[in-house]
Chain A
Amino acid sequence: GAVVSQHPSWVICKSGTSVKIECRSLDFQATTMFWYRQFPKQSLMLMATSNEGSKATYEQGVEKDKFLINHASLTLSTLTVTSAHPEDSSFYICSVPQGNQPQHFGDGTRLSIL
């Protein structure tokens, strides 16, 4: 089955920095990938759907200019948190759907903004 690689696993940076997170589908070509955010002691909330070769679809309340998504190839989607602030500190995780099979999740990225 598909294996998903997500990097980095942990980022600590200063307020105002932009942070890029990569999600790679190693065994499967993915026209769609999903990005979730999980705050402490809360559930996973879908942020956006990444579409290969076209614009991402953002969920209500997620700022597309702040969370830039690029899905330029069938194996890579990137999420860039621009000008990050402490309230953006969270656990970000991607997933890759595979037809009728269970989705495959990356290991997640813990983002801490000082």
Chain B
Amino acid sequence: GENVEQHPSTLSVQEGDSAVIKCTYSDSASNYFPWYKQELGKRPQLIIDIRSNVGEKKDQRIAVTLNKTAKHFSLHITETQPEDSAVYFCAPQAGNMLTFGGGTRLMVKP
């Protein structure tokens, strides 16, 4: 099965700084790479995703980069705001099955 590792597990930044979270995976069959944001007691919300034929994708303050050779992809958040505080999960997908990373608790200090 897929082995997914996500780092760091916690990340504290000052408002306005950038945050980067990295995810490594093991299954070379993975071809879809989403990032989810989860607030307490709620379902995960897709914030950005990338497919294996693209190296980088950007949506305003959020970007994802993919290195399929090295089997890792990263989430980049620029100009962080307090409302970005949440738990973030990577979840590489092979076939139709997602495997979630351990999560990163991001805290943005005002």
Total residue contacts A-B, CB cutoff 8 A: 39
Contacts of A49 in B (CB 8 A): 97
Measured in the bound complex, the distance between the Cα atoms of B49 and A84 in whole Å is: 37
Contacts of B97 in A (CB 8 A): 34, 46, 49
Measured in the bound complex, the distance between the Cα atoms of B49 and A90 in whole Å is: 27
Measured in the bound complex, the distance between the Cα atoms of B77 and A13 in whole Å is: 41
B44 in the interface, Cβ–Cβ < 8 Å? yes
Measured in the bound complex, the distance between the Cα atoms of B94 and A103 in whole Å is: 12
B25 in the interface, Cβ–Cβ < 8 Å? no
A102 near B34: Cβ-Cβ < 8 Å: yes
Closest B residue to A45 using CB positions: B100
| Residues of B bordering A, CB below 8 Å | 32, 34, 41-44, 46, 49, 89, 93, 96-103
